[in-house]
Structure 1
Amino acid sequence: MNNIKLYCILIALLLCFGCSNTKYLPEGDMLYVGGEVKVEDSSLSRSDRKALANELKTLIRPRPNRGFLGLRPRLWVYNIAGEPKKEKGFRYWLRNKVGEPPVLFSQVDSDYNADVLQNRVENKGYFKARTSADSTSRNRRAKALYTVRPGRQYTIRNVIFPSDSAATPLDSAIATLQRRSRLKPGSPYDLDVIKAERERIDQRLKNRGYFYFSPDYILVQVDSTVGNRQADLFVKVKEETPQHARQVYRINKITIYPNYNLTNAQDTLQKPQATQQYKDFTIVDPDATFRPIIYDRTLFFHKGDIYSRRDHDLSLNRLVNLGTFKFVKNSFRLADTLSPSLDVYYYLTPLPKKSIRVELLAKTNSANFNGSEININWSNRNTFRAAELLTLTGFGGVEIQVSGQNKGYNVYRVGGEASLVWPRFITPIKIADSSAFVPRTKAMVNYEYQNRARLYSLNSFRSQFGYLWKNNPRVEQQLNVIDVNYVSPSRVTEEYLQRIDSLPALGKVIEKQLIFGPTYSYTYTNTMRKRERHTFYYKASLDAAGTLAGLLTGADAKGGDTKELFGVPFSQFLKTEHDFRHYLRLGRDSQLASRIIVGVGMPYGNSTELPFIRQFFIGGVNSIRAFRARAIGPGTFNPDVGGDTFLPDQSGDLKLELNTEYRAKLFSVVHGALFVDAGNIWLWNENPEKPGGRFSGDFYKELAVGTGAGLRIDVTFLVLRLDLAFPLRKPWLPEQDRWVLDQVDFGSKTWRKDNLVFNIAIGYPF
């Protein structure tokens, strides 16, 4: 009966949207529902015809009203809102912000679109193409139809560059660039490739000192009369290219203004000031704000060097990447020398040396904890006059459950952190670095006191020393050669001790923990390329704790020989985690986001399990959203927790998580999502206190699965996320009963209470 009602509602919506979107149209006009391109040519394969048609379709203008499953809800909202009486208020907002005006067929210039398509196919080498336009209409809806008959595509027969023994040095330089040319004999003729080749030649020449050269000085002549639908391409320098663009320039003087002020720039430059000569640099810094060493590590130019655009860009990028200067710019001027030379000037406007920032955050999670946190950060951006960054942070926060089983077990946090970052590698061995990003050395000390009301309190100390560097905008790496973490309980209540009697695994949380060893992480992402159809994010981490100490002491926890340092058993394990994400762009405002996380922690030597603070957890607002945070696993284990006590966190040594989410813009800043999450955690070794928790070959039968839908309010600088999810598979049930799809009953209050999980969060889950 419920399904019949749902079908009736859907049919009613279809009729509602369909009828109302045309009755508001101007008399004699029709609603434009889009254009189609048909490529007719038997010489092209079916896939090539389809690819060409899809490419041409993107050029058609205007675009029709955005739709979803054949409906146009934004147009429907525009129509029902009516004409507002004033330019404000709810109706105005509904019509102009949520709604979308109709795209009328009278706005379509079919002849212009046909000319655009004709021009594009000719630029792709279909020199004898023919294009025509037509249209169809029905029920006051019109569609434009374009037919393209391209004929056979012209290919490149020969590419002729200047000879190596050319008359001018510029021609000879261009001749040496032919080997990596994008113009290949046998390839289809493509004007975009020709333009890209001109840009490539210009870039290579600028790296060889041709400062004033331009892509416009390159001429690619096309001879399409050689027969058999082929063309010869002749790469030349235009005869009208000026002399200064034909010369190679060297660097002469290098002058740096590290306290350049934009408000009184002329006074800064014209006023006589004391200068300092450091190697090849003339530094105008009478107050000695910065030590000259920072320029030696950021500027790639030296006197006498041939100008290079690569060194030009690297120098600017590294100056910006220091994080010390608000504005960075440079200029090149012809030097007063006999040979072609350039004087270089760098104008650097520093940020305030010291600053303080206060952050107040609100937090919530699927365990029904709500709270806030305050952070106070004090920074010194030039601590030792070489762009070192000193940061002192104090923080405090509270998480409270207003209703639910964890009510009264509030979490309070307070602590501080001090970090110092040097914009260089501090090592006994000098390491050369030529990337656009300044490498960094970081030292950090952190302390946190956490009080879990009615349960326990923990003191946590952590110190790190390591290196951070970026090879390019897509790859970032971090190596901590020293990473020490010490956790010690300061208070344990009688209630918690009683719970340990029934759940001995809870004792791991309050044990003293000493973890030390190197850690490493590698991150790759190209998600900044918004126009790419496929983008990726990948992060891998490696944690090797207690390896050397375990070998030296001969620790063997399985054999009962546990070793201690300073009276505390140290942890010994290897842990690696891999987070891979793929984003598939489906349209202008929709994408399919997927993620897989694989984590493996192998305790050995002095440990039988990973320490609690380094174990894996699963479930919650950024994980499997249909389950409470840290509530799943390990394996099929399910603690028998009564309704009169707190819910313990579950942890494991191995983790597998899979997520996929369809995201689409609904209107304005409101986006919708449909998602499915799956995963679980497991133990490396058998633990009698957690039966069913060990990893086995049947791990795929123990995955928890959940699904749901959500809304995202995306206002660029902030994303508010609302998700409603429910479980499809519960791994702790008997194997034949784990799928619970047949139990889904939104009409049941009991089912909703036990299964529906509402999440409020900031930002996307991945």
Structure 2
Amino acid sequence: MNRTYSMMKNKAPLLYFLFVILFLAGCSGTNKIPKDELLYTGAKIKIEGNEPSKKERKALKTELEPLIRPKPNSSFLGLRPKLFFYNLAGQPKKEKGFRYWLRTKVGEPPVLYSKVDLEYNKSVLQNYSENNGYFNTKTIADSTRSGKKAKVTYTVTPNKRYFIREVKFPQDSSAIASIVRKTKRRSLLKTGEPYSLEVIKTERERIDARLKEKGFYYFNPDYLLVQVDSTVADHQVDLIVKLKTDSPKLSKLQYKINNVVVYPNYSINSDNVSTSSDSIVKYKDFTIIDSENLFKPSIFDRALYFKKGDYYNRTNHNLSLNRLVNLGTFKFVKNQFKVADTIGNYLDAYYYLTPLPKKSIRVEVLAKTNSANYTGTELNLNWSNRNVFKGAEQLTISAFGGVEVQVSGQNNGFNVYRVGTEASLIWPRLIAPFKFESSSGFVPKTKATLGYEFQNRTKLYSLQTFKGSFGYLWKENERKEHLLNVTEITFASPQNVTPLYQEQIAANASLEKVIEKQLIFGPTYSYTFTNTMQKRKKHTFYYKGSIDLAGNVTGLVSGANIKSADTVKVFNVPFSQFIKIENEFRHYLKLTEDSQLASRIIVGAGFAYGNSNEMPFIKQFFNGGTNSIRAFRARSIGPGSFDGSTDANTFLPDQSGDLKLEFNTEYRAKIYGLVKGALFLDAGNIWLLKENPDKPGAKFSKDFINEIAVGVGAGLRFDFSFLVLRTDLAFPIRKPYLPDGNRWVLDKVSLGNSSWRNDNLVFNLAIGYPF
């Protein structure tokens, strides 16, 4: 038996070698190619001739390569694993199961040489070259065979490139020619630039867009002609912009708006609309036909930009449609323009609006977990009225209840129960003593909210919180948004404080802040900019800046700004005075179609003054958790080098601070199908502005960089389109609470050690991306 084992051991390398050879042979993909077929392995482009410069030849080659069809089977180091799995799966008997999935999802069928159209590819390459100024280009194609494989070489011989010498615009005296001529200053056709058919097409669209802004509703780019004269000079062209003589008469007419007719209760399934006299309402320049009197006419005056006598323009056309949709009241918005019957060169505008159901109810059941090992569920019940006062106002009343339980860890048994309600009312206008005009497609809104929450932390305390706010929301455009709460009020009152929590307060006085009665009121403002919706851009950004001014006016009136021994109270509760500023900046770098590098920086500061010695606990900053530094449990980091862990017999309190600094970066890439992967690094901490004897090392100092916590990890994201389920596994590599000089713990990482994993690995389960 020993001898047999020894022989097998000696032959093992040979067996492995044979297995690798067989695998590589399978990956080549030629073993199952039909008898009279060849596997197409791709194409090569050669640019010959000395007329274009070396730089031009290189650029032209780069532009031509993606145009060739079909694309060969994907390969890696000369192997074709997808084709291998396609062949391995064979022909499945039914359209489901593992074999079907392996063949259709993991594998890909062979790309055969018989599917390659040489003449078509030649014409594509030649047309592209000539459309970009390389006139009279010659293209040939040649294929070569090697065993069961075939590849193609396309040889492109371009002539010297043509450049634009002069651009001429229409010179006649017609209104349309005059407007076309005035667009010349912003023309995309520029002297000295290379000839490009694509730029000519774009220029026609640019001129058409300009004409649409000047009332030429029936014009389109096809009615413009750009003639090319290549005889004017050596490898130069003149471009002559003309209006086609056979274009329709309507396209040359400049139209104004006549009647604006609105049907606010239109059924998309029926073309019949009521026109009885009792259903027609005249309001300013509008005619509203609403037999059920569902909406106040004034909402259409605010939403529609067209007024009688205005020239038609596409900007107002689109803004009006966007505003009607943005009201949130209509399911479908349809628009139509017709030439007026009673007056020349005028258009009647019709708006057909299909309302959403006025009232609706929604029930949501949520499951959640976080890195503090709390898991739980929440039930939300929402009732909405989308037109409560007939002015497209939206009233929402919600009730919620939930429980969070820690299944393991030091907070096991300290369960959290929440129940509450909130009412919000949104008006599609600004209710203010001043007049506000917005030229964006987004309706400015006024929002008022009122809410109550009861939270019970078993074995510790209960907390009642009342909230209210009144403010304005408006968007300049799809990238810029403003939110101004004229006042935002929070009143928190503790109840049922247990002896256990009182004992903890005696040991750590800072815990008393959590259960203090708090009255916070004052204005808040935030500004958001983002261009992340522009998917084609390589660099996209997101920025949000906010400021919270609590008790500033009341402090001036009451004299609380002048420091005295007495604390000023409102309704027998000291009101908070502070300034809080927070900035969040994100950058997204697109690496490929399926990968990106996402980074975020958060900087925040809060300063208490006047009537307050410290920032209110609920307004302070926190760090750690599923959307923060994922290698540490939620709200556990800092402040500074302070170690917030306590004995195993007690709970772990949340750590808060007056200053916050956080940095995150994450590499995201598609793995397969809906599964995406990520590698990430998180760093940051919080600090106090003042010394706290109960939290040594918590004050911000010039050595703050030495107190940064750092964590790394990896995760999976399951993108189901309607939601993203995220799983992250992280561990710390720098612990700020360790003695100075020993805070980097990268050398102590031991993934194979169960004790190390138990103490350091943190699993996060969440919905959506962290940023």
- The verdict on a shared fold, with TM-score over 0.5 as the criterion, is yes
User: 2:177 matched to which residue of 1?
Assistant: 171
Does residue 120 of structure 1 match 2:124? Answer: no
Distance 1:539 1:264 in 2: 45
Report deviation, 1:296.
0.8
| Residue from 233, 236, 252 that aligns with 1:230 | 236
Does residue 156 of structure 1 match 2:161? Answer: no
Does residue 724 of structure 1 match 2:732? Answer: no
Distance 1:11 1:756 in 2: 39
| Residue from 682, 685, 702 that aligns with 2:687 | 682
- AA aligned to 2:204 is R
- AA aligned to 1:244 is L
User: 2:186 matched to which residue of 1?
Assistant: 180
Distance 1:160 1:627 in 2: 67
SS where residue 737 of structure 1 aligns? coil
Distance 1:753 1:664 in 2: 28
- AA aligned to 2:296 is R
Deviations 1:675-723 (A, max 9, x none): 2222222222232222222223332222222222211111111211121
| Residue from 275, 284, 305 that aligns with 1:279 | 284
Which segment is superposed worse, 143-152 or 408-417? 143-152
TM-score, normalised relative to structure 1: 0.92
Report deviation, 1:426.
0.8
TM-score, normalised relative to structure 2: 0.91
Distance 2:441 2:87 in 1: 52
Query: What fraction of aligned residue pairs are identical, expressed as a percent?
Result: 61
Distance 1:753 1:467 in 2: 48
User: 2:67 matched to which residue of 1?
Assistant: 59
Does residue 265 of structure 1 match 2:301? Answer: no
- AA aligned to 1:392 is I
Contact 1:356 1:379 survives alignment (8 Å): yes
Contact 1:557 1:607 survives alignment (8 Å): no
Does residue 710 of structure 1 match 2:722? Answer: no
User: 2:519 matched to which residue of 1?
Assistant: 514
Distance 1:361 1:123 in 2: 57
User: 1:423 matched to which residue of 2?
Assistant: 428
Contact 1:706 1:729 survives alignment (8 Å): yes
Deviations 1:516-574 (A, max 9, x none): 11111111222222222222222221112222233344446987654333322222222
Instruction: From the superposition, tell whether residues 475 and 86 of structure 1 become closer, same or farther in structure 2 (CA, over 3 Å).
Output: same
User: 2:296 matched to which residue of 1?
Assistant: 291
Report deviation, 1:477.
1.2
Distance 1:39 1:571 in 2: 74
Aligned residues: 754
| Residue from 571, 575, 580 that aligns with 2:580 | 575
SS where residue 95 of structure 1 aligns? helix
Distance 2:338 2:770 in 1: 50
Distance 1:182 1:376 in 2: 55
Deviations 1:82-127 (A, max 9, x none): 3322222232223323443344555444553343233223323333
Distance 2:32 2:589 in 1: 36
User: 2:258 matched to which residue of 1?
Assistant: 252
Instruction: From the superposition, tell whether residues 636 and 41 of structure 1 become closer, same or farther in structure 2 (CA, over 3 Å).
Output: farther
- AA aligned to 1:236 is K
Distance 1:754 1:134 in 2: 65
Structure 2 alignment gaps of length 5 or more: 1-15
Report deviation, 1:367.
1.1
Report deviation, 1:263.
2.5
Distance 1:523 1:513 in 2: 29
Instruction: From the superposition, tell whether residues 640 and 356 of structure 1 become closer, same or farther in structure 2 (CA, over 3 Å).
Output: closer
Deviations 1:337-383 (A, max 9, x none): 34211122111111111111111111111111111111111111111
Instruction: From the superposition, tell whether residues 44 and 689 of structure 1 become closer, same or farther in structure 2 (CA, over 3 Å).
Output: farther
User: 2:315 matched to which residue of 1?
Assistant: 310
Distance 2:44 2:503 in 1: 72
Which segment is superposed worse, 602-611 or 456-465? 602-611
Instruction: From the superposition, tell whether residues 582 and 638 of structure 1 become closer, same or farther in structure 2 (CA, over 3 Å).
Output: same
Distance 2:158 2:600 in 1: 42
User: 2:198 matched to which residue of 1?
Assistant: 192
User: 2:3 matched to which residue of 1?
Assistant: none
Report deviation, 1:401.
1.3
Report deviation, 1:391.
0.8
SS where residue 429 of structure 1 aligns? coil
User: 2:9 matched to which residue of 1?
Assistant: none
SS where residue 514 of structure 1 aligns? strand
Does residue 26 of structure 1 match 2:22? Answer: no
- AA aligned to 1:218 is L
User: 1:87 matched to which residue of 2?
Assistant: 95
Does residue 664 of structure 1 match 2:669? Answer: yes
- AA aligned to 1:303 is K
Distance 1:591 1:238 in 2: 47
Deviations 1:629-681 (A, max 9, x none): 11111121112411222111111222222222222222221122222222222
Instruction: From the superposition, tell whether residues 116 and 376 of structure 1 become closer, same or farther in structure 2 (CA, over 3 Å).
Output: same
SS where residue 224 of structure 1 aligns? strand
Report deviation, 1:140.
7.1
Distance 2:114 2:684 in 1: 53
| Residue from 534, 556, 574 that aligns with 2:539 | 534
Instruction: From the superposition, tell whether residues 173 and 702 of structure 1 become closer, same or farther in structure 2 (CA, over 3 Å).
Output: same
User: 2:702 matched to which residue of 1?
Assistant: 697
Report deviation, 1:447.
1.0
In the TM superposition, 1:330-479 aligns within 5 A as 330-479=335-484
Distance 2:323 2:735 in 1: 52
| Residue from 509, 530, 547 that aligns with 1:504 | 509
Distance 1:15 1:558 in 2: 84
Distance 1:63 1:418 in 2: 57
User: 1:626 matched to which residue of 2?
Assistant: 631
Distance 1:732 1:45 in 2: 63
Distance 1:484 1:442 in 2: 14
| Residue from 171, 190, 209 that aligns with 1:203 | 209
Report deviation, 1:226.
2.6
Report deviation, 1:196.
1.6
User: 1:525 matched to which residue of 2?
Assistant: 530
Instruction: From the superposition, tell whether residues 193 and 560 of structure 1 become closer, same or farther in structure 2 (CA, over 3 Å).
Output: farther
Distance 2:75 2:507 in 1: 57
Distance 2:498 2:17 in 1: 60
Contact 1:597 1:656 survives alignment (8 Å): yes
Which segment is superposed worse, 286-295 or 139-148? 139-148
- AA aligned to 1:191 is L
Instruction: From the superposition, tell whether residues 325 and 219 of structure 1 become closer, same or farther in structure 2 (CA, over 3 Å).
Output: same
Distance 1:69 1:650 in 2: 52
Contact 1:17 1:71 survives alignment (8 Å): no
Report deviation, 1:287.
2.0
User: 1:613 matched to which residue of 2?
Assistant: 618
Report deviation, 1:11.
12
Contact 2:46 2:156 survives alignment (8 Å): yes
Report deviation, 1:45.
8.0
Contact 1:36 1:144 survives alignment (8 Å): yes
SS where residue 211 of structure 2 aligns? helix
Distance 1:651 1:400 in 2: 22
Instruction: From the superposition, tell whether residues 443 and 105 of structure 1 become closer, same or farther in structure 2 (CA, over 3 Å).
Output: same
Report deviation, 1:496.
1.4
Structure 1 alignment gaps of length 5 or more: 1-9
